[in-house]
Amino acid sequence: DIQMTQSPSSVSASVGDRVTITCRASQGISNYLAWFQHKPGKAPRSLIYAVSTLQSGVPSKFSGSGSETDFTLTISSLQPEDFATYFCLQYKSYPRTFGQGTKVEI
C-alpha cells in the first residue's frame, strides 16, 4: 500500500494567516492527489483534485502544488469558516490511502 504522511497534525493560526500543509507519498503517485476539508458532523468537502485543480465553487485562496511524492496545500488569508481538518488522498492505486489529517485551529 502507498503510505501518505501528512504534516503537521495540527496548526494554530489566526484569521488572515497563511497556512501550508504537506503530504508525502511513500512512492510516486504522479498527480493523483486530492485535498479535502472536513468539519465535525459534516460530509468531507472536496477542495482540490489532480494536485492543483480546484473543485467547482472552491475559492482561489486554496491552492495545491507538488508532484510524484511531495505535495502541498496552501490556504491564504484564513477566514473563520476555514478552521477545520484537512486531509489528502492518493488515488494512483488501490487501496486508496489517506493522510492522517491536519486540524487547523484558532
Partner 1 sequence: QVQLQESGPGLVKPSETLSLTCTVSGASITAYSWTWIRQPPGRGLEWIGYIYYTGTTKYNPFLSSRVTMSLDMSKSQFSLKMSSVTAADTAVYYCARDITGIWGIDFWGQGTLVTVSS
Contacts to partner 1 by CB under 8 A: 31-32, 34, 36, 41-46, 49-50, 55, 87, 89, 91, 94-101
Closer to partner 1 at the Cβ: 78 or 102?
Answer: 102
Q: Nearest distance from residue 42's CB to partner 1, in Å?
A: 6
Which cell numbers hold the place of 72?
502541498
Least distance from C-beta 13 to partner 1, angstroms?
Answer: 22
Q: Output the smallest distance, CB 60 to partner 1, in A.
A: 19
In angstroms, the CA 37 to CA 14 distance is: 18
